[in-house]
Structure 1
């Protein structure tokens, strides 16, 4: 197994969407999952579960739920990290303790635990020379994915990604400068001038990326988009789609018994 310097792993992260037709050994997968289990956890409740999907037929079904993203079927493994209080609720029931953890706060605790475990696994995977691609569709279509993964009440898929050996070597993507993200002592709200300075490089590099890909350039020109902010709000993440996905998530976490808030 290739072992890299942690700083190199962190700073060289990139999303991998193309994978070699090569299996990941169970030994390596176990090491990656063990790294996830060592993540921080609220109250050490470990209120999450990890679903490992290798079955090709199941991945074909998940392909639609994951918005037809090719890596869902091309990668050898999908990892889905779920907020999970089903297990703990059963444990407290067996120990004659009050059964709750069926509210929105519990969902948030489970979602945070799941996300922390996911990032630990991601770092361990990349440290071993594997690639990942996080998929926002895990939460956006949590109801479809939950049904396909046979999730019981008090379990909700929150974050997931493809996993395998990279068959591509994309460049790293730009990030906002640290002074635009980090606040000391208290939140410092931004002036218009600061916003323009913070996003200057992002605007330039993000726009260039769209102009360098014929398919994206054609879409941008066809829609009459003039800058990266318009791409994000008109083409990629519309208000209508976010309202729709919000309703999907709210209805599903209610169905999964996480909205008993008194």
Structure 2
């Protein structure tokens, strides 16, 4: 039996042949990243507190912009708070089954308090302050996923909490300059999960200058590859009342329908109410 290589894992991820990594064995951290799977179904077994602390320690070892470390995580344990949070993300039916639930937050409050305590001005409360802490939180979140998978846990981010961002912030007692970026369901996977086919590097990687001249042809080919692996049944199509049941329903049709209606238009108002200057 031929041992798998990194090239094989890249082909699994993108559905395209490649010789990149053909002489590299499918082992170690790189192979684990390429094998990433989202998990939305969990065994009932709890995640030990010590193991969760270890995974969080790994997550907070991630890079941070200028060493500002502008991320905070709320681990939701109180049954009443958890129950309410489950209600707020009721569109995600797998969330209540996750043994652990966390909320990753962008946190610009900490550095502002430090500046005040040290008697220094803070003239940087503009849009970049929001971007810095949002990116920091996103990097910690991604590192958490990798750390969780390294110890056999499965997880999946929950961006839908931003649909109810005001209520989530109030529920978790988030002060000014702190906002919920995403939730995270965590537990022991009930099944192996599947490899989600990604857009090809010809679409996402550019050399010297941005060029999307072949975008639509590339996306059409991607739709076909993805459909050949995981086709969407008619009952899973979005907005069939408005757009009908498509004979061919690829990734691009799904995402175009998803973003055919306004989403989270309240975010700027919420962030302004939390003290962020978005100018």
- Do both proteins adopt the same fold according to a TM-score greater than 0.5, normalized to the shorter chain? yes
Deviation at 1:176, TM superposition (A): 1.3
Q: Greater helix share, 1 or 2?
A: 1
Which residue in 2 is equivalent to 1:205?
Answer: 226
Query: What is the aligned counterpart of 2:135 among 112, 116, 121?
Result: 112
> Relative contact order (alpha carbons < 8 A, sep ≥ 6): 1 or 2 greater?
1
Question: Is residue 78 from structure 1 mapped to residue 74 from structure 2 by the alignment?
Answer: no
Deviations 1:82-112 (A, max 9, x none): 1111121111111100134432211110000
Other structure's SS at 2:262 match: helix
Consecutive unaligned residues of structure 1, counting only runs of 5 or more, are none
1:218–1:160 distance in 2 versus 1, CA, 3 Å: closer
CA–CA distance in structure 1, aligned partners of residues 60 and 228 of structure 2 = 39
Other structure's SS at 1:16 match: coil
Which residue in 1 is equivalent to 2:116?
Answer: 93
Query: What is the aligned counterpart of 1:147 among 123, 145, 170?
Result: 170
Consecutive unaligned residues of structure 2, counting only runs of 5 or more, are 1-26
CA–CA distance in structure 1, aligned partners of residues 231 and 169 of structure 2 = 33
Q: What TM-score results when the alignment is normalised by the length of structure 2?
A: 0.81
CA–CA distance in structure 2, aligned partners of residues 121 and 208 of structure 1 = 28
Conserved 8 A contact 1:153-1:257: yes
Deviation at 1:181, TM superposition (A): 1.2
Other structure's SS at 2:266 match: helix
**Equivalent residue pairs, number:** 250
Query: What is the aligned counterpart of 1:241 among 245, 249, 262?
Result: 262
Deviations 1:118-166 (A, max 9, x none): 1111100011111111122133332221111110000011122211101
139-148 or 19-28, which deviates more = 139-148
Query: What is the aligned counterpart of 2:70 among 38, 43, 47?
Result: 47
Conserved 8 A contact 1:53-1:78: yes
Question: Is residue 25 from structure 1 mapped to residue 43 from structure 2 by the alignment?
Answer: no
Deviations 1:45-95 (A, max 9, x none): 011111111333222211232243123221111221111111211111111
Other structure's SS at 1:241 match: coil
CA–CA distance in structure 1, aligned partners of residues 165 and 144 of structure 2 = 21
Question: Is residue 259 from structure 1 mapped to residue 277 from structure 2 by the alignment?
Answer: yes
Conserved 8 A contact 1:225-1:231: no
CA–CA distance in structure 2, aligned partners of residues 19 and 51 of structure 1 = 21
Deviation at 1:215, TM superposition (A): 3.5
Which residue in 2 is equivalent to 1:157?
Answer: 180
1:231–1:260 distance in 2 versus 1, CA, 3 Å: closer
1:5–1:141 distance in 2 versus 1, CA, 3 Å: farther
Conserved 8 A contact 1:85-1:101: no
Question: Is residue 250 from structure 1 mapped to residue 268 from structure 2 by the alignment?
Answer: yes
CA–CA distance in structure 1, aligned partners of residues 240 and 150 of structure 2 = 36
